[in-house]
C-alpha cells in the first residue's frame, strides 16, 4: 500500500481494446451491483475517506459502503480494495468469486489507464494484482510489470522484486538480487523493505553479515511505526514484537514484545498468537499461554502444536537426572522452533 497517496485523477475512459493480457472474458457478475464500462483512477476526497475507514480506522462496514459507491463510479483503486475485503473476510463473508471478479476488473482498468497514459503507479498496481493468490496469478507477468515500474524508481516495485527473488516466486531464488532490490527500496524510504533488509544483513543472506547495519534498519522501522498516529495492521505489530523480543535494533524488552503481540492477536494473527502463548508459558502462566497456543493452532500456525508438545516433554524431563540428555535435545528443538517463528515464509507479502 502506498504510504503517500498519489495526487491525481483521470478522466473516465471506456473499457475497450485491452485484450493483450487475455482477460477480455470476465466471468458472470456475482455481485449485486454492476461495474460500469468506463474506468478512472480518482484519489480525491471520497476515495481517500474510504481508504481511511478501511486501513486506518478499521471501520469495515462504512468502508465497504464507501468503496461500493466508488466502484459504481468506475474507480479502479476501489475495485482492488473491495476485492481485498471479500478475500480477507472484512465485514463481508469471504468470497473468492467476488474477490477475483473485482480483481480482474481492477486489472483491466489499470491496463487501460496504463495504455492511455503510462505511469509507474499503474505498472506497480498491475504487477501487484498478478502476484495475488488468484486463479490468474502469474509471477512472470508480475515481475515484468514490477521491473518496468522499478526502472522508473518506484520503491514499492523494488520491494516487490526483492520479495520475488527472495522467495523464488516464478523464478529461481537469487538472494543477491533480492538484497540489491531491498537495498534500493530502503534507500528510497520504503518502510516495508526495512525489516527484510535488516534480516538479510543480520543473517548474511545475499550479502556479508553486518549486525550494526542490520540494527540500523530495524531501528528505522521501529521508529517509523511507533511514531504512526494510525493503528497499524497485525503484521506490523507482530514484527515489532519480534524485534523487541530479540533485541534487534532496540533494547530487548519482553513486556513490550508481549504488548505488540497482543495487538496483533486482536486480528487473529496466528504467528503472534504462537509467540504470545510461548512467552506466557515460559514465564509461568501456562493457562493463558495454552489459550493462545490453541488459538494459533486453530488459525493455522504450523509450529505451535509441536512447540507446545516439546515444551511439556522438556518440562517433565528436567526433573529426572536420567533424562538430562533428552531434555537438552528438546531444549535445542524448542529453540529452533522459536527461531523458525521469527521470520515465517512470506512474512511481508507484496503490498
**Is 150 within a domain?**
no
- Confidence at residue 233, expressed as pLDDT on a 0 to 100 scale: 84
Chain segment 35-72, per-residue pLDDT in tens = 998 999 998 889 999 999 998 888 999 999 999 999 99
Burial of 11 (0-12, 13-18, 19+ CB in 10 A): exposed
Residue at 43 is within a domain: yes
Is residue 276 within 8 Å of residue 261, measured between CB atoms?
A: yes
Check: CB of residue 178 under 8 Å from CB of residue 148.
Answer: no
Is residue 37 a part of any domain in this protein? yes
CA–CA distance, 280 with 290 (Å, rounded to integer): 8
CB 146 within 8 A of CB 160: yes
Q: Identify the bridge partners of residue 14 per DSSP, sorted by sequence position.
A: 38
| Overall number of domains in the chain | 1
Asked whether residue 333 is assigned to any structural domain, the reply reads no
Q: Which domain holds residue 20?
A: 1-137
Q: How confident is the model at residue 288 (pLDDT cuts 50, 70, 90)?
A: very high
Residue 351 has pLDDT above 50, yes or no: no
Residue 232 lies in a domain: no
Q: Pick from 45, 102, 49: which is nearest to 76 by CA?
A: 102
75 three-state secondary structure: strand
Any domain includes 130: yes
Report long-range pairs for 180-183 (Cβ below 8 Å, ≥24 apart).
Answer: 180/206, 181/150, 182/158
Give a yes or no: residue 40 inside a domain: yes
Q: Does any domain span residue 95? A: yes
Is 300 a residue whose pLDDT tops 70?
A: yes
Amino acid at each position: 500500500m502506498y504510504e503517500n497517496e498519489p495526487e491525481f485523477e483521470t478522466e473516465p475512459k471506456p473499457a475497450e481494446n485491452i485484450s493483450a493480457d487475455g482477460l477480455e472474458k470476465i466471468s458472470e457478475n456475482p455481485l449485486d451491483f454492476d461495474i460500469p464500462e468506463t474506468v478512472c483512477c480518482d484519489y480525491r476526497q471520497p476515495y481517500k475517506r474510504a481508504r481511511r475507514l478501511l486501513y486506518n480506522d478499521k471501520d469495515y462496514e462504512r468502508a465497504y459502503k464507501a468503496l461500493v459507491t466508488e466502484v459504481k463510479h468506475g474507480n479502479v483503486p476501489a475495485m482492488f480494495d473491495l476485492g481485498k475485503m471479500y478475500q480477507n473476510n472484512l465485514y463481508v463473508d469471504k468470497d473468492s468469486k467476488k474477490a477475483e471478479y473485482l480483481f480482474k476488473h481492477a486489472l483491466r482498468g489499470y491496463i487501460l489507464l496504463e495504455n492511455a497514459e503510462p505511469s509507474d503507479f499503474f505498472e506497480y498496481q498491475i504487477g501487484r494484482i498478478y502476484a495475488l493468490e488468484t486463479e490468474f496469478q502469474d509471477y512472470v507477468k508480475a515481475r515484468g510489470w514490477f521491473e518496468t515500474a522499478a526502472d522508473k524508481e518506484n520503491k514499492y516495485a523494488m520491494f516487490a522484486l526483492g520479495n520475488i527473488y527472495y522467495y523464488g516466486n516464478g523464478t529461481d531464488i537469487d538472494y543477491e538480487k533480492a538484497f540489491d532490490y531491498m537495498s534500493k527500496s530502503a534507500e528510497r524510504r520504503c518502510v516495508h523493505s526495512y525489516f527484510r533488509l535488516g534480516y538479510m544483513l543480520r543473517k548474511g543472506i545475499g550479502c556479508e553479515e553486518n549486525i550494526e547495519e542490520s540494527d540500523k534498519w530495524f531501528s528505522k522501522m521501529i521508529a517509523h511505526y511507533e511514531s504512526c498516529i494510525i493503528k497499524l495492521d497485525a503484521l506490523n505489530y507482530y514484527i515489532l514484537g519480534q524485534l523487541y523480543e530479540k533485541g534487534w535494533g532496540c533494547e530487548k524488552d519482553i513486556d513490550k514484545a508481549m504488548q505488540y503481540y497482543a495487538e496483533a492477536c486482536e486480528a487473529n494473527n496466528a504467528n503472534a498468537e504462537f509467540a504470545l502463548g510461548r512467552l506466557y508459558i515460559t514465564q509461568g502462566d501456562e493457562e493463558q499461554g495454552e489459550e493462545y497456543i490453541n488459538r494459533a493452532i486453530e488459525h493455522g500456525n504450523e509450529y505451535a502444536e509441536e512447540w507446545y508438545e516439546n515444551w511439556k516433554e522438556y518440562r517433565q524431563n528436567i526433573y529426572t537426572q536420567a533424562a538430562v540428555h533428552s531434555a537438552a535435545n528438546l531444549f535445542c528443538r524448542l529453540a529452533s522452533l522459536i527461531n523458525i517463528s521469527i521470520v515465517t515464509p512470506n512474512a511481508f507479502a507484496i503490498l
